[in-house]
Amino acid sequence: MFTGPVCEHDFRNETFCSHSPCKNNGTCILIESSAGVCLCQPGYVGELCEKHVSFCHQNPCRNNGTCVPLSGVDGQCRCQPGYSGSLCEQVQTTFCSNNPCRNGSTRKCALIDNKYGRCLCPKDVTGPYCDIPLHSCAPNPCENNGICMHEMSSQSYKCLCTFGYSGVNCSENLNKSFCSSNPCMNNGTCLQSPTTADGICRCQEGFSGIFCNEIVKCGNEKCQYPKQVCLAESCVNVTGELYCLLHECQHGGKCNPMTRQCQCEKGFAGIKCELRTILCDQMNNVCQNNGTCLSIENHCVCTNFYTGKYCEILIEQN
């Protein structure tokens, strides 16, 4: 049998690939005497390569190349070091022949077996081609729980150190407590907080300041607010614990850091428990000159000719 406009084709000798049925530059491959298949170009699928799809639809990149989608259905292959070509199908003669490493004069290309290689990146970049900027805080260079702050202008970093540490990378161990170096001057007494590393200096009369290093005029003046103390010629707020360290309670009283008040022992009163109250004691009567102590009213009832809080004053007779 023959076919064609002038019967020039012998139909008996035709195969699947005789008339190039594959579209869009697809390649026709015979698999039997007459049957065949179409090998499609990237971006096309279908029995005859007639359907247009995204370039990265089936990841056409070879040798572990990465397909990167572009606008529309286009895309391109990003090849692994040592490979090139639109589909990463070509093995480069040497990895360094095209000088793939970036970032100017700092780039270096190291050959391995005169075929493959890798880029030796400077400290501020990373990636196969040294093209990815490296954050100055990755990994964190700050030691002892310091916080790393990346500075965009200089592409460098600055460490914010925790208490007790210093240095560029917070590696220098300073005094761990306020009083460990005895910073108080002019015979001041250092009072260390029992629960934190903070402390405060209790200054001698006539001195003030954080370290008792200043002669002040307001040493005997009181601050307007009860939660403040006079330091460095000004009233400043202090924590409850430090406030109690500066305001000791007398006669065994204990300072409450929450209320900043003295809780006095039995028989004492006042801001600092400095006042002794009258307490009736059968074994030790505080009332003098046969005076009678009344526990309910908490005072002495004096006999004739005596007066005073403890009946200690003799009334003059006319």
Give per-residue pLDDT as tens, 71-111: 777 788 998 877 888 888 887 666 666 677 777 645 566 65
pLDDT at 23: 92
pLDDT at 36: 86
pLDDT at 104: 62
Q: Which amino acid is at 97?
A: S
Per-residue buried b or exposed e for 251-278, using 16+ beta carbons within 10 Å of the residue's own CB:
bebebeeeeebbebeeebeeebbeeeeb
Query: pLDDT exceeding 70 applies to what percent of the chain?
Result: 72
Phi/psi at 208 (nearest 5 deg)? -155, -170
Q: Is pLDDT of 221 > 60?
A: no
Place of tokens 């910073």: 183
State the Cα–Cα distance between residues 22 and 29, nearest whole angstrom: 10
Between 126 and 84, residue with greater pLDDT: 84
Q: Which amino acid is at 221?
A: E
Between 84 and 280, residue with greater pLDDT: 84
Mean pLDDT of 231-248: 69
- Condensed to tens digits (0 to 9), the pLDDT of residues 244-269 reads 877 788 888 998 888 888 998 877 77
Place of tokens 């006079």: 230
pLDDT at 97: 67
Between 264 and 207, residue with greater pLDDT: 264
Q: Is pLDDT of 295 > 80?
A: no
Assess if CATH 2.10.25 describes domain 278-318.
yes
pLDDT at 105: 42
Q: What is the pTM of this model?
A: 0.26
State the Cα–Cα distance between residues 287 and 278, nearest whole angstrom: 9
CB 89 within 8 A of CB 63: yes
CB atoms within 10 A of CB 58: 12
pLDDT at 219: 47
CB 136 within 8 A of CB 151: yes
Q: Is pLDDT of 278 > 70?
A: no
pLDDT at 178: 74
- Condensed to tens digits (0 to 9), the pLDDT of residues 155-164 reads 678 888 777 7
pLDDT at 233: 57
pLDDT at 6: 60
Between 4 and 190, residue with greater pLDDT: 190
What does the chain come to in residues?
Answer: 318
pLDDT at 175: 58
Between 218 and 241, residue with greater pLDDT: 241
Domain map of the chain by residue range?
189-246, 278-318
Q: Is pLDDT of 316 > 60?
A: yes
State the Cα–Cα distance between residues 279 and 292, nearest whole angstrom: 12
Q: Provide the mean pLDDT of the chain.
A: 76
State the Cα–Cα distance between residues 80 and 87, nearest whole angstrom: 11
Q: Which amino acid is at 164?
A: G
pLDDT at 103: 72
Residue closest to 229 by CA, chosen among 251, 253, 203:
203
pLDDT at 38: 92
State the Cα–Cα distance between residues 213 and 235, nearest whole angstrom: 16
